[in-house]
Homo-oligomer: A and B are copies of this chain.
Amino acid sequence: MEDRAQIQEHIKTQGEMVRRLKAEKASKEQIDEEVAKLLQLKAQLGEDGKHQFVLKTPKGTRDYNPKQMAIREKVFNTIISCFKRHGAETIDTPVFELKETLTGKYGEDSKLIYDLKDQGGELLSLRYDLTVPFARYLAMNKITNIKRYHIAKVYRRDNPAMTRGRYREFYQCDFDIAGQYDAMIPDAECLKIVHEILSELQLGEFCIKVNDRRILDGMFAVCGVPDEKFRTICSTVDKLDKMSWEDVRKEMVNEKGLSEEAADQIGEYVSMQGGMDLAERLLQDQKMCQSKQACAGLSDIKLLFSYLQLFQVTDKVVFDLSLARGLDYYTGIIYEAVLTQAGVPPPPNDSQNGASSEESVGVGSVAGGGRYDGLVGMFDPKGRKVPCVGVSIGIERIFSIMEQKAEASAEKVRTTEVQVMVASAQKNLLEERLRLLTELWNAGIKAEVMYKKNPKLLSQLQHCEEAGVPLVAILGEQELKDGVVKLRVVSTREEVDISRADLIAEIKRRTSEA
């Protein structure tokens, strides 16, 4: 533990750093970070000057309490059953990777990667998503086809907005299909999966937007965007879910130096939404036709929709030319699912960080993905490609909604699965309680006892009411003499004597009914 003098020394240095940053007019974000560190150090000294702990989790992270865990388990079970229904295996990878494994995969977002301190040995970073580790895994093990899911936490040094479910440590639930297959069949299955999961979780209305990187690139080409501006114009288009077209156009023309004419042509295209019919119409579009890439993308969208019809999910899927998605590694189909009728209104006081008012209207992206045929090849020493398509369910927002739903509902969330409490009405029966408890445990029944020699019957019953334990097995002198147990149903307060020999079967019968 650091002593006072050391901490005071730290405070001094840190204070100078903050003053310097302010003098240098550093970014607000950077100054805030350093001020937070300064406050943390000061808090350590405490009001009375004694060393004190700061009792908190790191910025942008949270604990899950038992109630939140019960909800999380339910959501995971739904998602995992769906992944298993579609025949997926699962893998796991370390929480950190060699720093170099992540380098050059995320474009501008790389600055959000958490690095580990150099303590000797390899340079490491926390994983930023599950897709890059998956590609590394495939290349390292020379796997050319697999259908796998991976549920794990990823890390981003982003600006947290925790009430809206944006954390620095958060879960991703990824499903990916790797392998050389006939076009659009695995891609369509990924959309089917999103449809199934969002329907089963009952989060309200949703919509799955699809587009294709080749259509975007082709569109940029025919609209006269210079090659070197494709990526940066693409990331401006990506803001259309948060900004109005006027603002996006302004950014393209004023900040990124695109001609007004090109911007207006893009504007016409990105306002288009539809289904297979739109793909057919654009295949006839004189301008779009000039791009081979765009045509290939449009034909694939047509094929995709024919499979989506067979999968019975076209009701929720929209071909939307404004969908761009940020990450660099996509090469074909891309998609994103948004809740269109958020079950719960977003919290009112959460629009700092310059988030536009549109963002707080409460439409939220809850899943996204696409095809990335080049990523595995970046890891293979010989550049051998493994085509991949996948989807990532953004679970934190879903947790937030489910939690708020649970709060609002009258139904109590149970955090344990205890079926019986072994109780006694009289004193000096601890040993008898433990003996019965052992019988129940050994028979596989979920049971508990109060850890007191002589607990009051009332407090034992109260615990059952609070924790939702359905049954109480009550022992007393009389019951022991008669070789029975008084079985009490907590909800109805009904009590019956059951012989010891029949008790386990009776408990199993009553709890399987429930």
Contacts and interface: CB of A to CB of B under 8 A. Distances in A.
A310 interface: yes
A448 B500 CA distance: 49
A357 to B, nearest CB: 28
Contacts of A446: 84-87
B58 A124 contact: yes
Oligomeric state, in number of copies? 2
Contacts of A179: 451
Contacts of A98: 40, 54, 56-58
A121 interface: yes
A51 to B, nearest CB: 10
A166 interface: no
A55 B136 contact: yes
B62 A94 contact: yes
A142 to B, nearest CB: 10
Kindly state the interface size class of chain A when it binds its partner. Answer: 35 or more
A117 interface: yes
Contacts of A115: 116-117, 119
B438 A177 contact: no
A396 interface: no
A438 B311 contact: yes
A146 B40 CA distance: 29
Contact of A448 (B86, B122, B124, B448): B86
B434 A121 contact: no
A212 interface: no
B438 A310 contact: yes
Contact of A40 (B122, B136, B148): B122
A66 B87 contact: no
Contacts of A480: none
Contacts of A141: 63, 65
A351 interface: no
A87 B57 contact: no
Contact of A53 (B101, B312, B453): B101
**Which among A33, A122, A435, A453 has the greatest number of chain B C-beta atoms within 10 A?**
A122
A16 to B, nearest CB: 15
A91 interface: yes
B63 A452 contact: no
Contacts of A137: 63
A52 B1 CA distance: 42
A100 B54 contact: yes
A192 B441 contact: yes
Contacts of A52: 381
B447 A185 contact: no
Given A307-B434, A447-B85, A447-B87, A94 B169 contact: yes
A434 B310 contact: yes
B441 A120 contact: no
Interface in A86-101: 86-98, 100-101
B89 A1 contact: no
Nearest to A185: B451
A121 B55 contact: no
A86 to B, nearest CB: 7
Nearest to A7: B100
B91 A66 contact: yes
Nearest to A93: B63
A384 interface: no
Interface in A116-157: 116-124, 126, 136-137, 139-141, 146-148, 153, 155, 157
Given A55-B139, A64-B91, 15 more contacts: A2-B103, A34-B121, A37-B123, A53-B381, A56-B98, A57-B98, A58-B97, A58-B98, A65-B91, A69-B91, A85-B441, A85-B447, A86-B446, A182-B453, A311-B434
21 contacts: A36-B122, A40-B122, A53-B378, A55-B139, A57-B93, A59-B122, A63-B137, A66-B89, A66-B148, A84-B416, A85-B445, A88-B416, A95-B153, A95-B155, A95-B169, A115-B117, A116-B116, A181-B451, A310-B431, A311-B438, A312-B442
Of all A-B residue pairs in the complex, the 6 with the closest CB atoms, nearest first, are A181-B451, A66-B89, A87-B448, A61-B94, A1-B104, A33-B120
